[in-house]
Amino acid sequence: MDEKESRNFIENIIDKDLSEGVYDTVHTRFPPEPNGYLHIGHAKSILLNYGLAKEYGGKFNLRFDDTNPTKEKTEFVESIKADVKWLGADFEDRLFFASDYFDQMYEAAVKLIKKGKAYVSDLTADEIKEYRGSLTEPGRDDPSQNRSVEENLALFEDMKAGKFSDGEKVLRARIDMASPNMNMRDPVIYRVAHMSHHNTGDKWCIYPMYDFAHPIEDAIEGVTHSICTLEFEDHRPLYDWVVRELEYPHPPKQIEFAKLYLTNVVTGKRYIKKLVEDGIVDGWDDPRLVSIAALRRRGFTPESIKRFVELCGVSKANASVDYAMLEYCIREDLKTTRPRVMAILDPVKLIIDNYPEGQREELAVPNNLDNEELGSRKVPFGRDLYIEREDFMEEPPKKYFRMFPGNEVRLMNAYLVKCTGCVKDADGNITEVHCTYDPETRGGNAPDGRKVKGTIHFVNAADAVDAEVRLFENLVDEEKGVYNKEDGSLNLNPDSLKVCKGCKLEPSLKSAKAYESFQFVRNGFFCVDAKDSREDALVFNRIVSLKSSFVLPK
C-alpha cells in the first residue's frame, strides 16, 4: 500500500501545514478534566496525541483542564498521571494545569472587555437560555449588552472581588446572537463560583468556562494541533474566535476525530460513581470496568491497548467496536510472552495408589510451547495430586475422554494413569479420585505405543500454593443492553463476578508479584491482583479466556 494512502486524515492535515509553513513543528497535548478516572476511549486520545508528537519529532503535553472545581479531585489528578505514564506517553517535564493560567485568562477577559468584545450580564442561567433562541429562531440581545467598557470593567473587577453571589453575574463574549451556531450566541466565558479549587485554593471566586479557557491554554503552551473529539466540532468557530480576538501570534488549529466506543460496557462517569458508591464494584479500578486503571489491574498491557487503538484507526465517523477485539489484542500479546503454568480452580484429590509413598520427582516442563526462549521449569510430582473436579466423572457421557473408572489418561508432562474409582463423603460428594500409574510412561508417552485421548493437568498436593481466583463476565447483561430503556438505569449482570476460593497452584507461582501475568492451562490468562493480593494470600484475576469466536476483520 502506498504510504500516503495509509496515512490518516490528521496526518494529512499536519503534512500540509508543515509543507506550507503554517507551523514549523508539531506540538500536541492531552487535556483531561480531573473529575473521574480515564477509560479506554481516553487511551485512544492519549496515544493519538503522543503518537503524532513522536512521529513528527515534536512535543506532547499533559495538561489538566481544571476549570470546574465542583467535581475535581487530587485523587483523579494522580490516577490520570499514572495512566498516561503507564501507556508510555512521555510528557517529560510538561505537566500543566489550566488553573496555572487563571491570571492570564483573567487578563484575556479584560482585554476582550476593553475591545468591546465582552460584557457583564445580569441574566440568570434560565434567562440566558431563553434569550439564546433555538435552532430555528435567532437569539435576542442581552439587556446588559450595551454597557460601557468602563462599567463592564468595574463589574468584572467586583465579580473577582467576591461582591456577587453564585449565578448573580456572568461575563459573556459579544459575538452574534443571530448566528446559526448556538455556541456563537454570546457564550458565557466567566462565572461566579465561591468554591475552593484543588490547585489554587480560595484565591479565585470566578472561574473561566471551558470553551474560553481551552484555546487560551493551547496558545500559551505553543500547541500547534489541538486534537479533540467530534462533539467539539460545533465549538471550533468559538475556539478560533477566542485565539483571533486575543491576537495570539501562532494560533493553534483544532482538529476533531471520532470517539472510540466499545459495545456493552459502562464508561459514563456518573454511572461508575454510582456503582462505586453502591458497592457493586470495589472502586474505579474494579477489573469489570474499562477504566485504564481497571484494565491495568485486570492484567491488560500497554502493548495490547496500543494494538487495539491502532486496529480501531482514526476517522471522522463514529462507530462502535466489539469488546471481543480488545480481548483479541491482549491474547495476541500474552500468548507467546507469558509462561504456561498449572492451576486447579476447583480441586479434588487424585491419589496414585501404586506410586511409592514419600517419593517426589521433579519434571522438566517448557514454559511456553510457542516460545522456546522462555525456557523451562521444574514441576514437582508425587503420590497425592490435585486435579480439576470436572476432569473426573463416574458415569461419563459419550466423547468424554478424561478420568472415569477404567479409563487411562495422560497427566500433563508426567505419566499415563488409569482411574480405578473414587471416594465419597456422607453427602455423596466426591472427596478423592484413585488411580494407578505406569512407571514406564514418564513424559506422558507409552513405550508400547498405546494411545490415550485425554490429557489433564495437575498440581502436586505437598507443594500446592493456595490462592483465590476471580472469574469475570460482562458487568452488564448483554442481551438486555447496557441501559434500561424505561428509567435509564444499568442492566447489571448478577453473575459478573465468580470468586473461586481454595484454588491450588503449582509452586512456581508462590512468589508472583502484583500485575504479573500467566497462562493457566485450559483456564485462560490470569494476573496477580494489585489491590487485594498479598504474599500469604494470593489473588488472581482472569484477564481473558483462551479462545474466542472473534475474527480480526480483514
Considering the domain architecture, whether residues 88 and 214 belong to the same structural domain is answered as: yes
Q: Which of 183, 207, 231 delimits the end of a domain?
A: 207
- Give the helix/strand (H/E) hosting 516: none
- C-alpha cell, 283: 472502586
Model pTM score: 0.91
- In a domain, residue 172? The reply is yes
Considering the domain architecture, whether residues 225 and 88 belong to the same structural domain is answered as: yes
Q: Which of 440, 457, 474 delimits the end of a domain?
A: 457
- In a domain, residue 93? The reply is yes
Return the sign of the alpha-carbon dihedral for residues 53, 58, 64, 67: negative
Among the listed residues 307, 315, 314, 276, the one whose alpha carbon sits nearest the alpha carbon of residue 293: 276
Match 454510582 to its residue by C-alpha cell.
Answer: 274
Here the CATH number for the domain that contains residue 430 is 2.40.240.10
Here the CATH number for the domain that contains residue 139 is 3.90.800.10
Considering the domain architecture, whether residues 81 and 220 belong to the same structural domain is answered as: yes
Q: How many domains does the chain have?
A: 4
Range list of H helices, 69-195? 74-86, 102-114, 125-131, 149-160
- C-alpha cell, 506: 503449582
Angle at 58 between CA 52 and CA 60, to 5 degrees: 70
- In a domain, residue 116? The reply is yes
476 beta partners: 492
pLDDT of residue 4: 46
- In a domain, residue 135? The reply is yes
Among the listed residues 295, 212, 254, the one whose alpha carbon sits nearest the alpha carbon of residue 29: 254
Among the listed residues 530, 517, 521, the one whose alpha carbon sits nearest the alpha carbon of residue 345: 521
Here the CATH number for the domain that contains residue 23 is 3.40.50.620
State the amino acid at position 219 in one-letter form.
A
Among the listed residues 87, 106, 85, the one whose alpha carbon sits nearest the alpha carbon of residue 95: 85
pLDDT of residue 452: 93
Among the listed residues 389, 384, 529, 547, the one whose alpha carbon sits nearest the alpha carbon of residue 470: 529
Considering the domain architecture, whether residues 361 and 428 belong to the same structural domain is answered as: yes
Considering the domain architecture, whether residues 361 and 423 belong to the same structural domain is answered as: yes
pLDDT of residue 449: 85
State the amino acid at position 112 in one-letter form.
L
> CA-CA distance, 18 to 24, in Å (whole number)?
6
- In a domain, residue 532? The reply is yes
- Give the helix/strand (H/E) hosting 11: helix 9-19
Q: Which of 405, 427, 457 delimits the end of a domain?
A: 457
Considering the domain architecture, whether residues 165 and 40 belong to the same structural domain is answered as: no
Considering the domain architecture, whether residues 93 and 223 belong to the same structural domain is answered as: yes
Considering the domain architecture, whether residues 219 and 201 belong to the same structural domain is answered as: no
Range list of H helices, 313-365? 323-334
Would you give per-residue pLDDT tens digits along the chain (554 residues)?
344 457 899 999 999 999 999 999 999 999 999 988 999 999 999 999 999 999 999 999 999 999 988 888 889 999 999 999 999 999 999 999 999 999 999 999 999 999 999 999 999 999 999 999 999 999 999 999 999 999 999 999 999 999 999 999 999 999 999 999 999 999 999 999 999 998 999 999 999 999 999 999 999 999 999 999 999 999 999 999 999 999 999 999 999 999 999 999 998 888 998 999 999 999 999 999 999 999 999 999 999 999 999 999 999 998 889 999 999 999 999 999 999 999 999 999 999 999 999 999 999 999 999 999 999 999 999 999 999 999 999 999 999 999 999 999 999 999 999 999 999 999 999 999 999 999 999 988 888 888 899 999 999 999 999 999 999 999 999 888 888 878 888 999 999 999 999 999 999 999 999 999 999 999 999 999 999 999 889 999 999 999 876 666 66
- In a domain, residue 76? The reply is yes
Considering the domain architecture, whether residues 347 and 441 belong to the same structural domain is answered as: yes
- In a domain, residue 308? The reply is no
- In a domain, residue 167? The reply is yes
pLDDT of residue 194: 95
Considering the domain architecture, whether residues 350 and 441 belong to the same structural domain is answered as: yes
Considering the domain architecture, whether residues 63 and 106 belong to the same structural domain is answered as: no
Considering the domain architecture, whether residues 112 and 232 belong to the same structural domain is answered as: no
> CA-CA distance, 355 to 230, in Å (whole number)?
68
> CA-CA distance, 245 to 232, in Å (whole number)?
20
pLDDT of residue 316: 93
pLDDT of residue 85: 97
Match 462507530 to its residue by C-alpha cell.
Answer: 319
pLDDT of residue 92: 97
Among the listed residues 285, 209, 287, 223, the one whose alpha carbon sits nearest the alpha carbon of residue 255: 223
Range of the domain at 411: 343-457
Supply the DSSP symbol for 358: T
Backbone angles phi, psi at 183, to 5 degrees: -70, -20
